[in-house]
Structures are given as C-alpha cells and as structure tokens.
Amino acid sequence: MGEPTPNPHATKSKTNPKRKILFFAAGTGLVLFAGVLLFQTFNAKDGSAGEDKQAGKVRISGAKPAVRSQPVAKVGNVIISEDELARECLALFGPDVLENVVNRAIIQQACQKAGVVVEQAEVHAEVNRIAKRFNLDTKTWYDMLQAERKMNPNQYRRNVIWPMLALRKLAGQQTKLTQEQVQKAFVRDYGPRVKARMIMLDNLGRAQKVWDKLKSNPADFERIARDNSIEPNSRALGGAIQPIPQYSDNERLWQAAFKLKEGEISGIIQIGLSRYAILKCEGRTEPVVTSIDEVKEQLLDQLTEEQTQEAVARVFDKLKRETRVDNYITNTSTGGVSKTSGTNFSPGSVNRAIPNPTQGFNRPPK
C-alpha cells in the first residue's frame, strides 16, 4: 500500500526532533543573481551609499557620477548591456528581491536604534556551529549550500545568518522552560502515536454524508477515503497518514485520535477553517525511547530554540508593523502602525522573511 503520507495538520516527525527554525527568504539562485543587479540599481538612489568601481572608493550617489553600462553578452553583432539585463531582472524578480532588501533594512534600522551590533566573528562562529550539527566542516557545508540552494558563502552570511543573529539579539533572552514543557515535548516526540487513516473534507454537509456512509460500512473506510477525501496524498493511499503524536500542532485532532480504540471511527472533527476530518484508528505505535533522561539534553536544546524563534518572530512582526515601507515596484505601503496599536500575533502570520539557516538540511546527511 506504500508509506503513509505526512499529515499537515497534526504530526511532527519523530525522526526529526529538531524543529526547523524560521526562514529568511534567501530565494533561488536566479533571484539571488537578480539581487546582485538590483543592488546596483538601489544603491544608485539619492541618499544611499554605493561603490565606484573605477575608483574603488565609497561615494555618495547624490554626486551623480557617470555610469557606464558594461556589456554582458554579444549575440552576433548585437551587444546585450548590463542595464538591459538589470531591467529584465527587475521585471522578473524585482518584488521578491526588494522584499529581501527591505526586510534586511528594517532589521538594520532596529539594530542601530537599539545599539545592537553583530560582529563578523559572530556570523562565522554561527556558521561553524550549524555545520557541526550536521557533522560537517564549514567548507563542506558551504559546498552543500551552493549545490542545493545555489547560495554562495557571502549570500548565506548576509541574507540568512546576519539577520537571524540580529533578530535574536533584538529579541533578547526570553526563554524559560518548565518541567511540564519538557515532559510534553518528550511525549510528543518519543511517546506512543495513534496509527490512523483520515478522510479530510472542506464542507460540513459533505462530511456528514461521508460519516453516514462510514457508519453503515465501517470496513469500507479505505474506498470511501479514496472516493471522497480532498487531501490528494492520503486519498491515494486509502486515507493512510503518519501516526499522530500527542501534544502535536492540531490539538483537536490528536485529542480525538487518542480517545479511539483500534478499529473505531471518530466523529466529525473540525481541524481548521472549512477543514473537517474523520479518523479510523488502527492501533498505536510502540515507543523506542522510554526514558526522558536519554534525550533530555536534546529536548532542552530543541525547546530553547523553539522559544527563541517564537520570540524572534514576535520581534520581527512588531518591527514590520511599526516601520513604514513604501514599495514603488508594487505601489503598496505597509507598516507605520503606532506602538500602542497593533494586531494579535500568531507565529503563522509572520511571512517568509525570518531566517532558517538549515532549510533543506533538517537531517544530517548520511
């Protein structure tokens, strides 16, 4: 029947207890390449600093020096200029790259205001620490980044590591773990899980009709899942999903799952906006790790990182709401919200602009 598909509403992988930290949008290789060209354009604005290639000196762009567009290609007798390439990159990738630049500027201004400085030595030390987590030396880690994410070391340090460290400093030390939190994390990551099949629906009326069918034909769960579930991966497997851990993200789902006995079918569970699930329990898994002492140090590191990243997300969300940004590419304005006003924060509302230096490498390579 094949391996069960991951359940996006409930599970956290047991084989990957280290949570992914949030991601600063480093982008694809093409976007990053476009960024290099766009920086040349943005740095030529009044009031910004740019570099005079001919003199090799920092200049104030308000001086309006002569700019020469260098050729980047020749097709027959036709020269393609750097300006032409920059215009194409701006049209194709401008909004995404500009968002990265804007986000970094927001963080930089907050650091200047708070007197926060991130030294280059700290950046290099963080890269070394991350590489060691994967049992790699720094050069091999950079080589993997280049191969997998098309990102060179300078881009990684500037676009990923520096913003992450800066936001951590702005967030301050806000972590405080309780014994209850550690115990729940142990149960979540290493405790028994409910083996189940799931039918997901986007309409309560349809969910009721499907549940009525299951009530009459409980042994036909797999066929009914294939015919009715809106989740394509699990539907193809007759509703099979990854085992559901206790204390996972979707509280309604795991609470309902752990009430079921083997062979039982749940009622209709609302697991999100216009998302309804019906479960069939197929037993429980047996824990591999039975003593918290075996993994306590790892759990403490993991939970500290989780709390730190949530604090970082809150700080960045606040900075974005308070900083006025006028985007002339998209013709939009954001931020500039009074410190006394604001909105309710949830980590899921923070966009992709927060760092994740290990995205794509959450498991140590074999």
3-state secondary structure of 276: strand
More confident residue, 18 or 359: 359
What total number of domains does the chain contain? 1
Report CA dihedral (156, 159, 164, 169) to the nearest 10 degrees: 120
Q: How far apart are CA 80 and CA 85, in angstroms?
A: 7
**Residue 314 within any structural domain of the chain:** no
**Residue 263 within any structural domain of the chain:** yes
- 60 pLDDT exceeds 80? no
Contacts of 348 (CB under 8 A, 6+ apart): none
Q: 122-162: per-residue pLDDT in tens?
A: 999 999 999 998 899 999 999 999 999 889 999 999 989 99
**Residue 270 within any structural domain of the chain:** yes
* Containing structural domain, residue 253: 198-284
**Domain CATH number, residue 252:** 3.10.50.40
In this predicted structure, what is the pLDDT of residue 308? 87
Helix (H) or strand (E) holding 113: helix 82-114
Q: What spatial distance separates the first Cα and last Cα of the chain, rounded to whole Å? A: 27
Tokens standing for residue 106:
């927001």
Task: Kindly indicate the confidence band of residue 174, based on its pLDDT and cuts at 50, 70 and 90.
Answer: low
**Residue 316 within any structural domain of the chain:** no
In this predicted structure, what is the pLDDT of residue 66? 54
Q: Match 């991601």 to its residue by tokens.
A: 23
In this predicted structure, what is the pLDDT of residue 210? 96
User: Which residues partner with 199 through β-bridges?
Assistant: 278
Q: Match 């600063």 to its residue by tokens.
A: 24
Task: Kindly indicate the confidence band of residue 172, based on its pLDDT and cuts at 50, 70 and 90.
Answer: confident
Provide the pairing of β-strand 332-334 with 269-272.
unpaired
Mean per-residue pLDDT of the chain = 80
Mean pLDDT within 57-78: 68
Provide the pairing of β-strand 332-334 with 325-327.
antiparallel
Q: How far apart are CA 30 and CA 151, in angstroms?
A: 10
What's the gap between Cα 172 and its chain centre? 21
Q: Whole-prediction pTM value?
A: 0.59
**Residue 244 within any structural domain of the chain:** yes
In this predicted structure, what is the pLDDT of residue 338? 53
Mean pLDDT within 293-302: 91
What secondary structure does DSSP assign to 189-208, as a single string? Answer: HHS-EEEEEEEEES-HHHHH
**Residue 307 within any structural domain of the chain:** no
Contacts of 252 (CB under 8 A, 6+ apart): 269, 270, 271
3-state secondary structure of 49: strand
Tokens standing for residue 18:
């280290």
Percent of the chain with pLDDT over 70: 73
Q: 215-270: per-residue pLDDT in tens?
A: 999 999 999 999 999 999 999 999 999 999 999 989 999 999 999 999 999 999 99
In this predicted structure, what is the pLDDT of residue 243? 97
Q: Where are the beta strands (DSSP E) in 208-308?
A: 244-245, 269-272, 275-284
- 6 pLDDT exceeds 60? no
Task: Kindly indicate the confidence band of residue 100, based on its pLDDT and cuts at 50, 70 and 90.
Answer: confident
Backbone phi and psi for residue 18, each to the nearest 5 degrees, phi listed first: -75, 120
**Residue 266 within any structural domain of the chain:** yes
Q: Where are the beta strands (DSSP E) in 43-129?
A: 49-52, 57-60, 71-75, 78-81
Q: 180-230: per-residue pLDDT in tens?
A: 999 999 999 999 999 999 999 999 999 999 999 999 999 999 999 999 999
| Sign, Cα dihedral of 145, 151, 154, 155 | negative
**Residue 289 within any structural domain of the chain:** no
